[in-house]
Structure 1
Amino acid sequence: MGNSFGRIFRISTFGESHGLGLGVIIEGCPAGLPIDEDFIREEMQRRKPGQSKITTQRKEEDEFQILSGVFEGKSTGTPIGLVIMNTDQKSKDYSHIADKFRPSHADFTYFEKYGIRDYRGGGRSSARETAARVAAGAIAKLFLTHYGITVQAFVSQVGDLKLGKSYQELDLAKTEDNIVRCPDPETADRMIELIDQVRKDRDTIGGIVSCVVKGTPVGLGEPVFDRLHADMGKAMLSINAVKGFEYGSGFEGVKMRGSQHNDAFYQEGNRVRTRTNHSGGIQGGISNGEDIYFNVAFKPVATIMQDQESVSESGESVVVSGKGRHDPCVVPRAVPIVEAMAALVLADHLLISRTNKL
C-alpha cells in the first residue's frame, strides 16, 4: 500500500536507501514515445547526492538501466521497468541508532506501524527513494513535450532569505547556473553562504521550491475530488520533508478583497485569457490555460550533527547524535523532484482528459 501514484500514467516505486538498489514500474505510457536516455540521465544528475559542498557527500552516480517497455528507443505501451543500483551506501554509519528513534524521523512511526524498521539511512522513508521518481518524471516530461508543456522549478527561499521577485521577473534559464538552483545570482550567493554556515554549525535549514508550468491546455482536472491542484498538492506533500503546499496567490490571497483577487477575463484572438493570474492557472479544479505556479515548503533535514534527547525501542531515555553524510539543506536537490512529481500529475491528467469526451 502507498507505493503507487497516478491512475492512467501510473508509477510504482520500490527499494531502500541502503538496499541493493531502487526502481520504478511505469504503466500507461503511450506507445511510440521516443525515450531519450541522455535526458533521463541529465535529470538524475540534477538530483544525485555529492554534487556540491552544500549537499550530502554520498557518492552515487545514479546510473540506471531500463529493463522493459522500450524497444529501439521507443516505448512499446507495456510497463517500463527501470532500476538504479546503490553503490556507496555505508550502513555502519547507522549502527548506533539501530534501536533508537531519531527525532522528527520516521523511525518511531514505522516501528509502531510495522513492528520492524530498516534503520540503515531510513530505509523506505529515506529521500533516496525519490531517485526512482525523478527517473519516471523524466519520461513524463518527454511525454509533455509533445503537448508543448514545460515544467521549471527553482529555489525561492532558504531560511529567512527570500527571493523578492516573481517568476515573471526572473530568467529561469539561469536556475542551473549555481549550486543552490536559484535563478537570481545575488540571492543565490547569499543562500549558498547561509547553507554553508549552517553546515559548519552542524545544523540544518529549510526552504521553499517554487515551480512554474507553462503551456497547459484548458480542461485538465476532474471535479470534485480529483481537482488538478488537489492532485498536485498530494504529489508535493508525498515528497520527503515537505510541510506545505500553496498554488496561485496561496496564503497571501487572504489579505486581498474579491475585487482585487478576481482574475478578469478578456478575449485574445480565439483564446480566453485572464488579465491577472491569482488563480494560479486553475479554476474550479480545472486548468484555464494560464501559467500554473505553486510553492513547496521543505522543513530542515531531521538529521543534525548534534546531541538530541530521544528514547530507545525499549522506552529508555537515550541521546542520539547524527553521523554519516547528510544534506544541510534539501531544497537544491529537491528542485528536480518537484518537477518530476508535477510532470507525473500533468501526464496523468492529459491521458485522463482523452477519456472524458468524444
Structure 2
Amino acid sequence: MSGDSFGKLFKITNWGESHGPAIGCVVEGCPAGIPLTETDIQPFLDKRRPGQSQLVTQRNEADQVKILSGVVDGKTTGTAISLLIENNNNRSKDYSEFAKLYRPSHADFTYQQKYGIRDVAGGGRSSARTTASNVAAGAIALKVLQRANIEILSWVDSVGTISAKIDADQVTEALIESNPVRCPDLVAAKAMEEKILAIRKAGDTIGGVVKCVVRGAPIGLGEPLFDKLEADLAKAMLSINASKGFEFGSGFAGTELIGSQHNDIFYQDENSQIKTHTNHSGGIQGGISNGMDIYFRVAFKPVATLMQQQQTVDTSGNAIEYHGRGRHDPCVLPRAVPIVDAMTAIVLCDHWLRHQAYCHS
C-alpha cells in the first residue's frame, strides 16, 4: 500500500523515480472511442517540463510521452492506457554527497526513517519529477471532459507578496500563457518575474499561490460524505509537491462574514436555470457541484533546495553545513500551473464518469 494510485472509476497509478530510466503512469477507466494520440498529451507536458525559461530549473528534459497500450488506430480501447516518459538528462552525481546528510525541509529524513532506505539521486520517488506522469494522465482526463464542455483554467495568483489584480471572469488561456510566470495580470506578471530572478540570483527561493477556476461543470458532481467534490480536489492538490495549503470558495476570508452576508441566494434566470447571486460556496454545496463556477486556491512553499550554505545534521545526528547542488526551481509556481490543471481534470473526470454511471440525470 504505497499510495501510488488515485481515483476510483477514472484511476491513475504513478510509477518511477526522478533519476531512474523513466517515469510513467497507468490510466484505468478511460472510456473506449476517445480520440487520443501522443500529440494530444505532449502540449500539456511542454507546459510543465523543466528548462522552458530562466524562471525554472534548467534540467533539460524533453518529456516526450509514449503511449504503450490502450490505444488502437488513434482511439482508446477502454483498457488500461500505459504512458512512459524517459529520463534523459540525469546528473545523479550532484546528489552523491547528500547520502550522508538530511537536507532541510526535504523528504530525506522522513523517507529514511519510514522505509529504512532512500533513493538519494534527485529525491527518488519524492521528487516533483514524478508529477510529469500526472500531467500526462490529466491530458487524457481533459479529452474525456470535452464531452461535458468543462473548461479548467489555472494561473499564478501571487508570488511572495505580489498579487494579481484581475477578476477570474476575465482570465483566458491566452493571457495565462502570454508570459513565463503564467499570470494573467501582465503588470503583476512583470513584477513577479523580476522578483523570481532576483531571488534566484541570491541563491534563494520563493513561494506563492495558484488559483484555479472550473467553468461549465454540470450540477451533481461529487457525493455528500467522504467523496465530497471539494474534499477530493483538496487531496489532489495537497498531493502535489511543495503544496502547503488549499482554500476553497470564500476560504478563510469567509470567516470574516456573517451568515446573512455569506449565504448564496438562489434565483431563476431568464433561461429558467436556477443559479445563485453570489458564489461564496465556490460552486459546490453539500459536496456536490451546483452549476456555478468552481474555484479554489493552492499555496506552494518556497523550494527547499537553496544555492547557499545551510545548517543541518548528518545521518548520525552531527551538526554540519552543506550547500545545495543540482538544478532546481527558484519558484515552482509557473510549472505548478499545468499540474493543478491536470489534477483538477483527473478529479472531475472521475466524478463525471461516476455521475454518468449511476445518477438519474
TM-score range normalised by the length of the shorter chain: over 0.9
1:1-358 equivalences under 5 Å are 1-268=2-269, 269-358=271-360
Q: Which residue type is aligned with residue 50 of structure 2?
A: P
CA contact under 8 A between 2:245 and 2:298: conserved in structure 1? yes
Q: Percent identity?
A: 57
CA distance in 1, matches of 2:225, 2:5: 22
CA distance in 1, matches of 2:49, 2:219: 35
CA distance in 2, matches of 1:199, 1:218: 44
CA distance in 2, matches of 1:51, 1:335: 14
SS of corresponding position for 1:177: coil
CA contact under 8 A between 2:55 and 2:331: conserved in structure 1? yes
CA distance in 2, matches of 1:357, 1:178: 42
SS of corresponding position for 1:98: helix
CA contact under 8 A between 2:155 and 2:183: conserved in structure 1? yes
CA distance in 2, matches of 1:234, 1:113: 21
Alignment length, in residue pairs?
Answer: 358
SS of corresponding position for 1:208: strand
**Closer, same or farther in 2 for the Cα pair 1:171/1:70, shift >3 Å?**
closer
Q: Which runs of 5+ in 1 are unaligned?
A: none
CA contact under 8 A between 2:65 and 2:85: conserved in structure 1? yes
Greater mean alpha carbon deviation, residues 125-134 or residues 307-316: 307-316
* CA offsets 1:259-294 (integer angstroms, 9 cap, x no match): 111111111223111111111000001000000011
* CA offsets 1:130-157 (integer angstroms, 9 cap, x no match): 0000000000001111110011100010
Greater mean alpha carbon deviation, residues 3-12 or residues 260-269: 260-269
Greater mean alpha carbon deviation, residues 27-36 or residues 9-18: 27-36
After superposition, the CA RMSD in angstroms is: 1.0
Deviation at 1:310, TM superposition (A): 1.1
Which of structure 1's runs of 4+ aligned residues deviate more than 6 A? none
Deviation at 1:351, TM superposition (A): 1.2
Q: Which runs of 5+ in 2 are unaligned?
A: none
CA distance in 1, matches of 2:275, 2:290: 8
SS of corresponding position for 2:322: strand
* CA offsets 1:72-112 (integer angstroms, 9 cap, x no match): 00100000001000000100011111111000000000000
Deviation at 1:4, TM superposition (A): 0.3
Q: Which residue type is aligned with residue 323 of structure 1?
A: R
CA distance in 2, matches of 1:175, 1:96: 39
Deviation at 1:36, TM superposition (A): 4.0
CA distance in 2, matches of 1:331, 1:133: 17
* CA offsets 1:177-231 (integer angstroms, 9 cap, x no match): 1000001111100000000000000000001000010110000001211100000
**Closer, same or farther in 2 for the Cα pair 1:41/1:172, shift >3 Å?**
closer
Deviation at 1:171, TM superposition (A): 4.1
CA distance in 1, matches of 2:215, 2:260: 26
CA distance in 2, matches of 1:156, 1:36: 32
SS of corresponding position for 1:354: helix
Q: Which residue type is aligned with residue 273 of structure 2?
A: R
Q: Which residue type is aligned with residue 106 of structure 1?
A: A
**Closer, same or farther in 2 for the Cα pair 1:205/1:144, shift >3 Å?**
same
CA distance in 2, matches of 1:240, 1:138: 19
* CA offsets 1:18-47 (integer angstroms, 9 cap, x no match): 010100000000000111432311000000
Greater mean alpha carbon deviation, residues 262-271 or residues 275-284: 262-271
Greater mean alpha carbon deviation, residues 29-38 or residues 73-82: 29-38
